[in-house]
Amino acid sequence: MLFENYLFSQLRKLINEEIRVATGEELFTGILVSVDNAILRLRESTDDYERETRNIVVLLSEVSFIQVDAE
């Protein structure tokens, strides 16, 4: 339980930052919109002509890794 609390507190510091989240064979890159004890929400932009965005919901229990760019 200690790790989950630490992860949650670190992710809260990254709200409005770009992160990469891997789940199984999926890799999502986007702006972290929110996080709670069970899920995180990303806003992912496409590089298409119209610059569409999509909202992604990821269960923390399904996360393989999270990557953040160094500052």
Say how far apart CA 12 and CA 60 lie, in whole Å: 13
Say how far apart CA 39 and CA 34 lie, in whole Å: 8
Q: Which domain holds residue 8?
A: 2-68
* Number of independent structural domains in the chain: 1
Give the torsion through C-alpha atoms of 69, 23, 62, 11, to 10 deg. Answer: 10
CA terminus-to-terminus distance, the chain = 29
List, for residues 6-61, the tens digit of each pLDDT value. Answer: 888 899 999 999 999 999 999 999 999 999 988 999 999 776 666 788 899 999 98
pTM for this one?
0.84
CATH code, domain carrying 58: 2.30.30.100
Give the residue with greater pLDDT, 3 vs 29: 29
